[in-house]
Amino acid sequence: MNGAGAHARGGRGDAATTGGGAPGGHGGTPGGPPGRGAPAAGGTPGHGRTEPRTPGGGPDRAPASGVGPGPGPGPASGRGPDPGRASGRGSRSGRGVDPGAGRGPRPGAHDLVLLPPVDVMRPRSADEIPAQGRPPRELQYSLKLDGFRALAFVLGDGKVVLQSRSRRDLAPEFPGIAAHLRDQLPPGIVLDGELCAYREGRLSFTDLLRSPADRARAGVPVSYIAFDLLAVPGRDVRALPLRDRWELLGTALVDAEPPLQRVLATQDEETARDWFRDLRDAGVEGIVAKSLTSTYRAGSTWAWRKIRHMETSDGVLLAVVGPPDRPRALVVRLADGRTVSTSPRLTPAQSREVGALAGDRAGPLAQDPEHGPVRWIDPPLPVELRQLAVRQRQENATFVRVRSEG
């Protein structure tokens, strides 16, 4: 199914197939082939650009062609307004809040109403994409991207903090993104989103673990894909329902340029199912279904549900095998409570990832009767696993990544 067809699916009474951040080409068209920037059939000019305005060429910049996301298509003509842009260019007020307030002269401290660290709102895992109700629709479906979760705080004096789920500042690791957000957004704004790297037209989580210099030499671009808004200058908006926060987010990013984009989202269930099926090869993990009435509350909640492709599952990292800063394998607890070792051997990038996040939690070498010499991790870390077939009654799991940053 081509990109235009996927976009047309979003027009069945869907007033909210909006945003960017769909990998696979300039246009960010769902399911579109890499490197093609043609807009979806019936796309309305002004709701989506088919070419990034900023070419690649430096670390953390948007790609010039062929890789990474382009801004997504807007709703087809005559199919209703884009709620993310509902305030329009003529009025940046949204619902009494101006996300662009403060552009120009630097605002005072009263505009910085939300400072790091802030705990994020987390979706709970679900097996199936939930059904959409009859109008007025109560669910938003957005792409679940494979990247680093990060809250973006634009503070005074040109400082930007990219706070991970574990409260670590990722800005030094993504200086190009931090500089771009500082230039594009007013102090006082706080976004929730995902840092995503792209290689050969698909999301590349492993490249996020590389240094900015390494990514620049390899020509690997990074984008910040925003999916929520926590604060605007002078006002904390977490108590507003998602429906209003999404509208304000669209207004705040109406003039934003790549690599800053809004995630691709829809209120049409069938479109979400198409994305779940068609964007898997582009590295999209799945779909996040969110209640449009949900306020932003720290911690996990059933108001947000993540549906990932079924070959991966959540587990817990219990111990490392080998040097704690460069382990060869892991001992993990599966979702059903069983404890198994990972196989095959960790790749160099995976070994460095685990060492960086778990090495300082590793205890002394201990002999485990089932797994041999190990170092127990305290406290344990959440991980993503892919289970393998049973081999001689010994079931293993393949390590995918540590979940503390994603």
Active site residues: 144
Which amino acid is it at 140? Q
Beta bridge partner(s), residue 384: 314, 401
3-class state of residue 181 by DSSP? helix
Convert 364-396 to b/e letters by CB count within 10 Å (16 or more is b): eeeeeeebeebbbbeebbebbbebeeeeeeeeb
d(CA 210, CA 326): 15
| 265-266 sheet: strands from edge to edge | 121-125, 299-308, 286-291, 139-144, 265-266
Task: Enter the tokens of residue 374.
Answer: 């190990």
CA distances from 275 to 24, 78, 161, 279, 331 (A): 12, 23, 31, 5, 34
CA distances from 22 to 28, 38, 143, 253, 281 (A): 5, 14, 8, 16, 12
| 373 upstream amide cis, omega within 30 of 0 | no
Query: Among 256, 226, 245, 193, which residue's Cα sits nearest to residue 53?
Result: 256
**Any idea how long the chain is?**
406
Which amino acid is it at 60? D
Phi/psi for 272 (5° steps) reads -60, -40
Task: Enter the tokens of residue 380.
Answer: 């344990």
Other Cβ atoms closer than 10 A to 166: 13
Region of 28 please: left (phi>0), alpha (psi -120 to 50) or beta. left
CA 26 to chain centroid, in Å, comes to 18
DSSP states along 225-276:
EEEEEEEETTEE-TTS-HHHHHHHHHHHTTT--TTEEEBPEES-HHHHHHHH
d(CA 84, CA 216): 32
